[in-house]
Amino acid sequence: MKKNKGAAVLMSIAVCMAACNPQSPSEEKAAAAQESQQDFKTLEDRYSYAYGANLAEQFRAEGIAMNVDLMAAAMQAVFAGSEKRMSAGEIAATIQLYQEAHAKQKEAEWAVATEENKRAGEIFLRENAGKEGVIVTKSGLQYKVIAKGSGGYTPTVEDDVKVHYRGRLIDGAEFDSTYSRGEPYSTNAKALIEGWAEALQLMSEGAKWELYVPANLAYGEAGSPPYVGPDAVLIFEVELLEVDKRQ
């Protein structure tokens, strides 16, 4: 786990539904995908859709609410060379006003989330420390051995390692997983949050541990938006697959 806008062209894709010849859900999905691909007649078409989707994902991740119809109308006016409904000065002032209001709102939400995460994290770690098989280190890191490793060499911060992992919040919500992606992650302890770095140096190849990482050994007050909030305690299932020992 690592330490941690432009214009969009909004397209409407018309999907024709056949009233007869009913299809299975899988056939309908395949037909819809093929039909939507036919709307991309040029590279510019594909780029327009891709850029719009990418920008919308960014807005959603940042909690920015957009009136998509008005955004599309403004873009159409600009590309057509038509008269805009706002002057350049009004546009700049409106953007600044919204950004300031949005920043204040996010700060207030962040402060509330910080306090909630601190309280929940303290309770979780206190209760978890007393559970069977859970070991607590001097730093406050907690871990439980799911599977023992080879018992041989344990990596240093200089060594590259290959791992599988699954990251969850204490409410059980999964925010990252190499298992879902279908391929392991190659890294070394220098690039990882402190809790991970500490644990890896105690593990040997083949070991599989569950880590309970206090916020100060994870992402701290900054969090790792949009999935990890401020002062969040994290749970990682880590499987050390391979160590590339540096001489």
Catalytic, 165? Answer: yes
Q: Helix or strand or coil: residue 60? A: helix
pLDDT tens string 15-72: 333 333 444 555 555 555 555 566 889 999 999 999 999 999 999 888 888 999 999 9
**What mean pLDDT do residues 180-196 have?**
93
Q: What pLDDT score was predicted for residue 19?
A: 36
8 or 232, which is more confident? 232
**Sequence-ordered list of residues with C-beta below 8 angstroms from that of 15, at least 6 positions apart, any chain:** 32, 35, 36
Paired tokens of 239: 């499987």
Q: How confident is the model at residue 178 (pLDDT cuts 50, 70, 90)?
A: very high
- Residue 56 sits at φ, ψ, to 5 deg, of -65, -40
Catalytic, 59? Answer: no
Q: What pLDDT score was predicted for residue 50?
A: 95
pLDDT tens string 11-24: 232 333 333 344 45
Select which of 49, 143, 212, 219 is catalytic: 219
- The total of other beta-carbon atoms located within 10 Å of residue 117's CB is 21
- How many C-alpha atoms does 25 have within 13 Å on its Cβ side? 0
Q: What pLDDT score was predicted for residue 14?
A: 30
pLDDT tens string 218-234: 999 999 988 999 999 99
The two beta strands, 234-244 and 185-188, are unpaired
Q: What pLDDT score was predicted for residue 6?
A: 35
Look-up of token digits 């040029």 = 42
Catalytic, 13? Answer: no
* Domains of the chain, earliest start first: 121-244 (3.10.50.40)
- What is the reported pTM? 0.71
pLDDT tens string 120-167: 999 999 999 999 999 999 999 999 999 999 888 999 988 999 999 999
Catalytic, 219? Answer: yes
Angle at 183 between CA 228 and CA 160, to 5 degrees: 80
Q: Alpha-carbon distance 95 to 109, whole Å?
A: 21
Paired tokens of 12: 């409407």
Element (H, E) at 244: strand 234-244
Q: What pLDDT score was predicted for residue 179?
A: 96
Q: Alpha-carbon distance 56 to 232, whole Å?
A: 26
Select which of 40, 51, 124, 175 is catalytic: 175
Select which of 193, 212, 231, 235 is catalytic: 193
Q: Alpha-carbon distance 180 to 166, whole Å?
A: 9
Q: Alpha-carbon distance 164 to 183, whole Å?
A: 8
